[in-house]
Structure 1
């Protein structure tokens, strides 16, 4: 079937795309498969020493060894006059985003065995006209006709089927991603979504939690072996991936272990890193990060002139919202259980 339209979530840390197959939305896998953490398209672009372009997981993998030629979080610069200078060439943020969209387009075509020319792309509710236009331009550069730009919280509400509800309601969308937090309050009446207020923190996300776990693991190893891994970029890459994996596992189990053989050497031989991590310890490590979300919730409520009791539904979006501590925090902040049944990723 020609003329399929794909839906794209162009994210700060990770991007994703889906297509309707057999009447159901189906996630488009990256050609390399998903990362250890189940992400399809990390929002990374890099140029090798030879000048070859890498996008997605291949770019993320080599970020530690090639930091000067690797770009990530370009979404934060969309709609600004920022220019990335790499290997004597200049790139605007929309060109970097276009590389990510091109990769998604290519992998979507391989997955669907169809030519893909049209897309719907989501943007944060607070994006202004410049940022929305830059997102559209990125699509055009990537060879996609962007048929619509829709707000991320609207897309989340549609995923939960809230537009089909027969009642008018006030919806809070709590979108906690890899690098950013967005809290949006929307009013829905007659199937139409109207943004009442949006608030957030562009420097708060799952990666802050990963950093807290990494610091803990590195410190435990230093205490045991007297070796500081923080200066060893290869070791730190392994610790970073293991920390994210442990965080994800602890959403469903009570205890896990970060186990990295041959992480370091000293005169007595090779050293293995083994650190036990319980959910209670994880909660302890990330508690202050989760509590920082309160400011954005309060601000969104204040700007919409609503009290918590007037919120009809709560929708959670983003990987970190799978964590029991985050779910509990949102539920206690609003006094209502969030919607469930849709993968927040």
Structure 2
């Protein structure tokens, strides 16, 4: 070091690299968890890279998997050998093996409140497909924006935006009635096709995306590490955002109900409802999901009796003059 000869004993060396070896073992644990396997399911453990020649690395990996490691191949050439095997398979010369690719990061869309709704989780085998149904937020909503994201965080602002398109031409219907199916399809080339289709009217729009375009291995690793480091905070933010979204929807629904059925409510019911809405609005930005949830339940308790009363009246009117046997 700096022209001075220094001797480092095996014991001291192993002590210095112990944190790095522990990190390697943690990566092995994560890989098993992601693939839903145990160490007993692994048949061979092949060592890759020059550092795997270090005795303590070999011993630690062998102890973790509970079996003798495969170190007969040159660890500096293993990756190249694997690439050659894959090239042989892709060329159609080797039909005895099938190597499956996976998605390194989750793929999903943005939902109310800026939340990430995952359709294809990370580590899904390619090719793969998934679909989910969504609906509109407002009465007569003519279109829906589909924003596609990639990443592991609960809020889309912390993930990578891949694409965005509008599904327009949705027939005018009450909020919640349209059924929009969003489907993701990743083909063998890793190209993602996103399709949105309103099932009642067959209105449809689609787009093609290359999820891995412009994304380096380091960026993928950083996104994964960020998701682990912020997991607790993200869960809390998701829970808060979900209850805020529920509160906002409830307020809008209740106000529309009151406008449409104003004469059906008593003055006391109107005042109680307005007070409950005011209280709920007052705590919306408090950051306390439990208080918001309490106020949501309070508004529900006030509005439920007259909503049920109106429903009973509507049913009674529809059944007026009819024989019960005719409706069975």
Q: Is the shorter-chain TM-score for this pair beyond 0.5, marking a shared fold?
A: no
TM-score relative to the length of structure 1: 0.26
Q: Which has the higher helix share?
A: 2
Of the two structures, which has the highest relative contact order with CA contacts closer than 8 Å and spacing of 6 or more? Answer: 1
Q: Which has the higher strand share?
A: 1
TM-score relative to the length of structure 2: 0.27
Which is greater in Rg? 2
